[in-house]
């Protein structure tokens, strides 16, 4: 298991432990009251705050590092305090990383071929690293140069630089359209499309407008015997049921099974569950 703990949440914030450090940051879904004392919350090593005249910044304790590391299933993951309240890791996706490992190994054994996996909006790339470590070839695509650099740090820290990873800075919609024209095929596709975003050349991304197109492109680049399609989304108005219905329709020719639901974290101080996003997963089994 990953070295992470959701300690408490409430009043629009969450208190978390990543490795040895305690982080206090906003979360608009935590509309209930905090469970733990103010003293406990104020003891955090890093606190993300917003004021009326700035977009948000971190207040950190003395000697807080520029980067630190956590372990997950043999991987070493680099964490940092980003300007946008993130630290480079979404622990609610851990069950998906375990699934990616399992399905990648099974697919490799079944077809006697190295699975070819595509990760879109791939960010710091824990899913990519998981597939690499399980024996896949990875194409890791993100429009953000800092995110790509962060992934390469994680790849090096995890000792996976010698593994077959194609790392690309590109607009995901344009990239998949080109891959379809080139008739490149993938055995698995992972994506974390945002609500809104920008490509490296000023392209505009809108989930409601562009996600259906991306899903069409995804179908066009799947191999004849694909293993999985995993979709996560954060802060979108679309429900997991909607995405699941789209997956069932688009991937009907492959058969398989679709599951969907909320991405969640369980508090260690109470029995509450914090919703962080949604997912829909198609698997061939």
CATH code of 42's domain: 2.60.40.1180
Whether 86 is in a domain gets the answer no
Range of the domain at 231: 91-283
Q: Name residues whose C-beta falls within 8 Å of residue 246's C-beta, 6 or more positions apart in sequence.
A: 212, 215, 280
Residues 50 and 108 reside in one and the same domain: no
Confidence (pLDDT) at 20 = 96
Tell me the percentage of the chain whose pLDDT exceeds 90.
91
Residues 159 and 277 in one domain: yes
| CB-count exposure of residue 267 (10 Å: 0-12, 13-18, 19+) | buried
| Radius of gyration of the chain, Cα coordinates, nearest whole angstrom | 19
Q: Taking the complete model, does pTM exceed 0.75, yes or no?
A: yes
Q: What is the DSSP letter of 222?
A: B
Residue 134 is part of a domain; what is its CATH number? 3.40.50.150
Which among 111, 136, 129 is positioned nearest to 284, based on CA atoms? 111
What pLDDT, in 10s, does the model give residues 73-102?
Answer: 999 999 999 998 999 999 999 999 999 999
- Say if residue 24 is in the same domain as residue 118: no
- Whether residue 57 sits in one domain with residue 8: yes
Please state, in angstroms and rounded to a whole number, the distance separating the CA atoms of residues 129 and 94: 13
For residue 135, being part of any structural domain is answered with yes
Neighbours of 21 (CB within 10 A): 19
176 confidence band (pLDDT: 50, 70, 90): very high
Give the span between the Cα atoms of 22 and 4, in whole angstroms. 10
| 72 domain residue, yes or no | no
Residue 81 lies in a domain: no
**Composition of the chain by helix, strand, coil, percent to 5:** 30, 35, 35
Q: How far apart are CA 141 and CA 119, in angstroms?
A: 6
Count how many domains the chain has: 2
In a domain, 76, yes or no: no
């Amino acid at each position: 298991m990953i070295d992470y703990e959701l300690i408490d949440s409430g009043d629009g914030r969450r208190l978390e432990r990543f490795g040895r450090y305690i982080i206090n940051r906003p979360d608009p879904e935590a509309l209930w009251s905090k469970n733990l004392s103010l003293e406990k919350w104020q003891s955090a090593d890093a606190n993300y705050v917003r004021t009326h005249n700035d977009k948000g910044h971190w207040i950190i304790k003395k000697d807080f590092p520029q980067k630190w590391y956590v372990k997950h299933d043999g991987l070493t993951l680099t964490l940092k305090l980003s300007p946008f309240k993130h630290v480079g890791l979404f622990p609610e996706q851990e069950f998906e990383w375990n699934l990616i490992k399992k399905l990648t190994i099974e697919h490799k054994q079944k077809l006697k071929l190295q699975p070819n996996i595509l990760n879109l909006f791939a960010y710091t790339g824990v899913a990519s690293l998981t597939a690499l470590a399980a024996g896949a070839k990875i194409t890791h695509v993100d429009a953000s140069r800092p995110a790509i650099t962060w992934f390469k740090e994680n790849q090096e820290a995890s000792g996976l630089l010698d593994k077959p990873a194609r790392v690309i800075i590109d607009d995901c919609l344009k990239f998949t359209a080109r891959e379809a024209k080139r008739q490149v095929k993938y055995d698995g596709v992972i994506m974390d499309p945002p609500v809104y975003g920008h490509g490296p050349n000023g392209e505009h991304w809108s989930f409601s407008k562009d996600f259906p197109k991306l899903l069409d492109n995804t179908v066009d680049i799947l191999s004849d015997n694909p293993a999985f399609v995993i979709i996560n989304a954060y802060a979108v108005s679309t429900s997991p049921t909607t995405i699941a219905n789209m997956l069932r329709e688009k991937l009907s020719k492959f058969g398989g099974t679709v599951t969907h639901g909320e991405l969640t974290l369980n508090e260690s101080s109470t029995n509450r569950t914090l919703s962080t996003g949604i997912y829909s997963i198609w698997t061939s089994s």
